[in-house]
Amino acid sequence: MKRQMFFALAAIGMAMASSAAYQAGFARVDTAPPSGIPIPGYFHKRVAEGTLDPICVECVAVSDGEHAALIYSVDNLHIPSVFFKRIFQEITEATGVSRDRIFVHSTHTHTGPTVGTRDAFTEEENRLAREYADKLIKQLAETGRAALEDCAPTKIAAAKTVCTGISAIRRYRMKDGSVRTNPGITNPNVEGPLGTPDETLQVIRFKRTGAPDIAIVNFGTHPDTVGGTMYSADWPGVVRKTFEAGVGDGVKCLFLNAAQGDVNHHIRNPSPGRAALARADIHFHMGRAVAGVAMGVWDICEEIPDGQVRGAVTSVRMPANVPTADEIKWVELFDAGKKEEIPLGSMEIMTLTSPGSRVRTLRNGPDHFDILVSSIAIGDSIAFAGLPCEPFVDIGRDIKAQSPFRTTIISCLTNGAEGYIPSTKAHQEGGYEGLSSRFAAATGDRLVAAQVEQLKRLYKNEEAKLTE
């Protein structure tokens, strides 16, 4: 088997090396998780009872003739960071693609299967979760290999536009001065939102010769519209299905969720038609809206010059959000049955007092964490900036504004899952996300600086200084 794999990969490499122009390929597999695995994303446990729509692993392979990169999109809430040493190893063994050019993104659907075990699960649930994690890692390797085998000569083009009216900042300043997340779309005690959504939508088009084109669509907001106990890719799944059907000609579409830590679909003062949508229909509305806007620029994407495919995955040290004396006191009050004495809203109280909360786990340290920052560069025109967390939109905006690349695709929950990382300003303002984050307020600014530095080095082709 390994001998056959070697010759197959060697043939792929020879085909790529025969042309100095770009090559690109695509592969998708339905991961088909079994019922019975818990579905993460809420403060209470949900156990999957079936599948509403396919849960997939997708991969775009892109090569400059010498080096290839693999860009994945996976339908789940996240893949815990502890799995990535094994993921990198298995993908590299199956494909020959080095760790610094492997980019594994989770769409953050709140109706996907858990990857990894938890103390709150039953023995059977943990068994199913372990088996699914093993299967998923193998499928990542197999999908990467299939994407490389699908490679064909390609021109690469890009477009940028906006998709308005489907997402909103979910953090609000209340009239009493507090900060609340999702206070209710008609809550009269809201003073105003803390920020504005980033409605930028970006499309990368791979215009292949002798094979169907490939699209990467990038937009950021929480995929948490379906709910319930049926597996679903949520609105990102609708994006790819609608886009592929609308464009036709066998086109394939991979979706990357951008900075989405503080944005979701709860629009305040919605139009009557939007307000009348049943929860079961919101993901169709959002997915079709994103796909429609992407299709609107598909034919006018601007081609980029040929160039090198480069990548970097580096470890960055970030300060821990060590609990304050007040936070420790509030947890002690909760444990003593004195919840009414805690001066916080119910969501914030749950955040601080849950069994795996930051206050409980960081009470005795550590004082820092090491996280991965990842980038893929295509020539001097396009870069993919992968953050292993749920970054706030201002983090994404700041990275794009400082990036030397003409097109910079922000991708959340890439090569790790470190929870929320608010912007430094938002962390200091307060609220649920900052309370739950393992990282101190300074992390927002440090994350932007680390990602921008990585992009600048890739732009200058200094990748040797970045890889481990």
pLDDT tens, 65-104?
A: 999 999 999 999 999 999 999 999 999 999 999 999 999 9
Asked whether residue 35 carries a pLDDT value surpassing 70, the answer given is yes
d(CA 132, CA 120): 18
Q: Do β-strands 230-231 and 50-51 pair in parallel, antiparallel, or remain unpaired?
A: parallel
Q: How far apart are CA 55 and CA 33, in angstroms?
A: 8
Query: What's the confidence (pLDDT) of residue 198?
Result: 98
Q: Enumerate residues 6+ apart whose C-beta is below 8 A from 148.
A: 9, 12, 25, 61, 63, 68, 70, 95, 97
The answer, yes or no, to whether residue 177 has pLDDT greater than 80, is yes
363: alpha, beta or left? (left if phi > 0; alpha if psi -120 to 50) = alpha
Tell me the per-residue pLDDT of 264-281, one tens digit each, with 9 for 90 and over: 999 988 889 998 988 889
Residue 288 near residue 163 (C-beta atoms within 8 A) = no
pLDDT at position 7 over 80: no
Share of the chain above pLDDT 90, in %: 83
CB burial readout 233-245, b (16+ within 10 A) else e? bbbbbbbbbbbbe
Separation of alpha carbons 413 and 374, rounded Å: 11
Look at residue 2 in the predicted model and tell me its pLDDT: 47
Strand-pair partners of 59: 27, 72
What pLDDT is stored for residue 84 in this prediction? 97
Strands 263-264 and 302-303: unpaired
Please report where in the chains the tokens 């998708």 appear, as a residue. Answer: 28
In tens, the pLDDT along 396-436 reads 999 999 999 999 999 999 999 999 999 999 999 988 899 88
Cα angle value 39/42/43 (rounded, 5°): 120
What's the confidence (pLDDT) of residue 1?
45
Half-sphere exposure (CA, 13 Å, Cβ side) for 34? 12
Average pLDDT over residues 39-59: 94
Cα distance between the two ends of the chain: 29
Pairing, β 190-193 against β 382-386: unpaired
Can you read off the two tokens belonging to residue 15? Answer: 């085909």
Residue 331 tokens, joined:
């947890």
| φ/ψ (deg, to 5) at 444 | -55, -50
What single letter denotes the amino acid at residue 176? D
Mean of per-residue pLDDT scores for the chain: 93
Determine how many CB atoms are found less than 10 A away from the CB of residue 360: 15
CA-CA-CA-CA dihedral for 237, 155, 68, 29, to nearest 10: 30
164 — phi, psi (to 5°)?
-100, 155
CA distance linking residue 310 with residue 64, whole number of Å: 9
What's the pLDDT at 44? 86
Share of the chain above pLDDT 70, in %: 94
Q: Which residues neighbour 373 within 8 Å (Cβ) at sequence distance 6 or greater? A: 312, 313, 314, 316, 386, 387, 388, 447, 450, 451, 454
Res. 197: pLDDT tops 50: yes
pTM (two decimals)? 0.93
Least confident of 21-25, 218-222, 236-240, 464-468: 464-468
Average pLDDT over residues 209-220: 98
List, in sequence order, every residue forming a beta bridge with 316; answer none if it has no partner.
371
Look at residue 431 in the predicted model and tell me its pLDDT. 86
Interatomic CA distance for residues 88 and 98, integer angstroms: 8
Q: Kindly state the average pLDDT of the residues 174-203.
A: 94
Judged against a pLDDT cut of 50, whether residue 464 lies above it is answered with no
pLDDT in tens, 286-326: 999 999 999 999 999 999 999 999 999 999 999 999 999 99
**Does position 261 have pLDDT exceeding 80, yes or no?**
yes
Asked if pLDDT for residue 4 goes beyond 70, the answer is: no
Rounded CA gap, 375 and 13, in Å? 22
